[in-house]
Structure 1
């Protein structure tokens, strides 16, 4: 039994105790993302704004790499705790921690060596190349820190140390926010300053998380002597972790294809979409926090074979996530021009960006259902359904939409592609959920 989580509490109370700290972490993460955007946009250089936007998929890729070990490890750890296998949890956490450092170090070197073809792939042109390069290089240098910070923040939440995980994330974000004006504006480092501030913030997150593991955790370890787990556990971590990472990679690929689709319409369209995507995180990150809040409980109750508590957790998660998605998306749709004007006040920019932002959030209820189903399947170790959902929303279905809809509707088709992909993927998610969990609808309270 996990001593950090009181499973005698009502499911709704327990769920929110785990989810609210993560929501706060996500909101602060949003704030520092928007701070980067604010100070970059304050230069009034749309090529600089576009260059930073083009580098965003690199960060998403590094986050995906971290989630291979963070989410993959959390999935297995929750189930181990449900079976009261604490010592095995130590070994899982050590393996994830050190292997993520080694893999990300190699990835960082490869990103630096192949920077020119990578920047071209990202959509950088003559006007934006130098700005995108500055941002890209520093993210590549900081790859081990960025990747590794996602490991312990995920594992700590699974143990029940949600507040400590929140502090590590918020602390890193505050460091980033404080450094942004200094590096971007005062020192005039531009895109490089934004990336350097991000890396230093993640150094704080990684170090504080490691401190918590060493001083407060009962279920995690950082002892290198425990760097060995069974091949079966490795398979479990990687099968779930890789499918979780594919979701993030698809986000990167989706943004790349979106930028390439907008490129013929001008850099101002790419800049507007970059900021619209940032603002839409107001909704997306809160939904992410609410859905991920259930991850430790989904895995624990599944591992303990407690079907009734699992059923109650899933039903509550669906209700709270859908309500939040609906309310927040309506807020953003109604105030889209005002939200965009915080970053750039040009009337032409707001005119371009408003429909972009509205179409990004119009289908957020569908996104919430997709994320909840994906996290549920990750938590219980179901790799195939996770993989299917991971490659659909911003992958296969989105790219098909980007190919077909602009040819039928022009630039409006580019905006509609994401909403259509969200709707179709949500239908797939509901089908997969019913196939694997139809018994939930029939289980009665005990």
Structure 2
């Protein structure tokens, strides 16, 4: 049963987090299984070089579509707090402006991608034999990116309304469509990596159609034309918080550039393939932790807007507890079954030899990442953009990128893999410091739950 936005401020926190997090986790699971199976199909039916090509292209398309994710997350924080404060008109204006901003910006970025495709592919690491399949995969996927961006906006707003199950459906539908079309285009019609790209593009469009249907028939947010007109104060508030998510994705894209070039330099094309497999596993294996983080956001944002600070504090502590336990279980599974997992993706002996150990190192600090994820999410949900931006950038920007640039000079390819757990530990320590300070000073409440 869907949760209404009002229930975000009244239901038991544990039950509410489960209701919000389970559908989010399932949705992320299907989305990551889709990417996982897509990678398996590409690796087994086309070849390991195709995995390297996809690894190069996806950060480019995700950078463009992350505009929708950024506006969706930032705007939903504004929207959740507006709903919590009972300001329905501001919530509607926020949604309308989110859609207008996403469509405009995504279209501009797609045009840039079309005109500078060769330069972008080279920048993101399409070296040597990777260029040809990367180019073939890039163009069809690029045309589907605006639909994906709009879906990401809609997905976050659906969760902000408390209707996490519909958010889950919006992620399940493209997964099913993509897997079915992969089989048709790659296996049956033998269309190679172009077929994989076409399947991905169509799946984005189908997800967009579902989100559009939800807002027409199921949403409590009924827009009029005037809601789409830009309002400076709304745009500024959305942009301030959206910048946090987009900066993170921007840093992730810079990291992808550095990683792909470093991996190619120290390990050749097969090392790029190794990271392609690991990056898919990072999203797939951590889906329940990411789901709890997604489920936590509307709960914290709504109650912060309603000034129910005792519920905000409770949601932080419970979310960290649940996510931490799940992260420990994930770590144990990866540690135990690394080699069988890798063998699913490819038959390439060089890739199979290197990937299991690299996978274990990249996941080595996963038991503690719950503090890092929930801590950064809280500051964004509360509308504290500066703290959210700082904490969001700590892992990739302040630690991982410098470590990837420095450590391989001393330890070769091993330096790349060990950089991940070191960055996780350092960024978690910093997040824990800020979160503890927030809990002990800024979230001290009186008996009625209001701030002192």
Structure 1 CA distance for aligned equivalents of residues 262 and 282 of structure 2: 19
**2:175 maps to which of 173, 187, 193:** 173
- Who is 1:257 aligned against? 258
- Who is 1:114 aligned against? 116
Structure 2 CA distance for aligned equivalents of residues 359 and 85 of structure 1: 48
| Structure 1 ranges of 4+ moved more than 4 A | 1-4, 440-446
- Who is 1:24 aligned against? 26
- Who is 1:193 aligned against? 195
- Who is 2:226 aligned against? 225
Cα distance change, pair 196–333 in 1 and its aligned pair in 2 (3 A): same
Matches within 5 A, 1:31-110: 31-43=33-45, 45-110=47-112
CA offsets 1:245-286 (integer angstroms, 9 cap, x no match):
222222222122111111122111111221122122222332
**1:350 maps to which of 349, 352, 366:** 352
**1:157 maps to which of 144, 148, 159:** 159
Partner of 1:42, secondary structure, is helix
Contact 2:8 2:162 in 1 (8 A): no
Structure 2 CA distance for aligned equivalents of residues 247 and 156 of structure 1: 22
**2:320 maps to which of 309, 318, 321:** 318
CA apart distance, 1:76? 0.3
Contact 2:48 2:346 in 1 (8 A): no
CA apart distance, 1:396? 2.9
Structure 2: 5+ residue stretches without partners:
none
Cα distance change, pair 367–245 in 1 and its aligned pair in 2 (3 A): farther
Q: Taking structure 2 as the reference length, what is the TM-score of the superposition?
A: 0.94
Is 1:248 aligned to residue 249 of structure 2? yes
- Who is 2:366 aligned against? 364
Structure 2 CA distance for aligned equivalents of residues 29 and 346 of structure 1: 26
Cα distance change, pair 431–132 in 1 and its aligned pair in 2 (3 A): same
CA apart distance, 1:45? 2.3
Structure 2 CA distance for aligned equivalents of residues 298 and 226 of structure 1: 26
Structure 2 CA distance for aligned equivalents of residues 367 and 245 of structure 1: 20
Structure 2 CA distance for aligned equivalents of residues 27 and 3 of structure 1: 24
- Who is 2:331 aligned against? 329
Per mean C-alpha deviation after superposition, the further-off stretch among 177-186 and 11-20 is: 177-186
Structure 2 CA distance for aligned equivalents of residues 317 and 426 of structure 1: 15
Matches within 5 A, 1:127-166: 127-166=129-168
CA apart distance, 1:25? 0.2
Contact 2:97 2:234 in 1 (8 A): no
Contact 1:283 1:361 in 2 (8 A): no
Structure 1 CA distance for aligned equivalents of residues 443 and 224 of structure 2: 44
Structure 2 CA distance for aligned equivalents of residues 215 and 36 of structure 1: 32
CA apart distance, 1:53? 1.3
Cα distance change, pair 337–372 in 1 and its aligned pair in 2 (3 A): same
Structure 1 CA distance for aligned equivalents of residues 104 and 8 of structure 2: 36
Structure 2 CA distance for aligned equivalents of residues 362 and 105 of structure 1: 39
Contact 2:313 2:439 in 1 (8 A): no
Matches within 5 A, 1:399-414: 399-414=401-416
- Who is 2:216 aligned against? 214
Structure 2 CA distance for aligned equivalents of residues 232 and 287 of structure 1: 34
Contact 1:250 1:394 in 2 (8 A): yes
- Who is 1:282 aligned against? 284
Structure 1 CA distance for aligned equivalents of residues 4 and 19 of structure 2: 15
Per mean C-alpha deviation after superposition, the further-off stretch among 425-434 and 309-318 is: 425-434
CA apart distance, 1:196? 1.8
CA apart distance, 1:225? 2.6
CA offsets 1:117-162 (integer angstroms, 9 cap, x no match):
1011011123110111112212222221111110011101100111
Structure 2 CA distance for aligned equivalents of residues 142 and 44 of structure 1: 22
Contact 1:108 1:142 in 2 (8 A): no
Matches within 5 A, 1:434-445: 434-439=436-441
Structure 2 CA distance for aligned equivalents of residues 259 and 385 of structure 1: 30
Contact 1:107 1:143 in 2 (8 A): no
Contact 1:94 1:221 in 2 (8 A): no
CA apart distance, 1:231? 2.3
Aligned residues between the structures: 445
**1:269 maps to which of 258, 268, 271:** 271
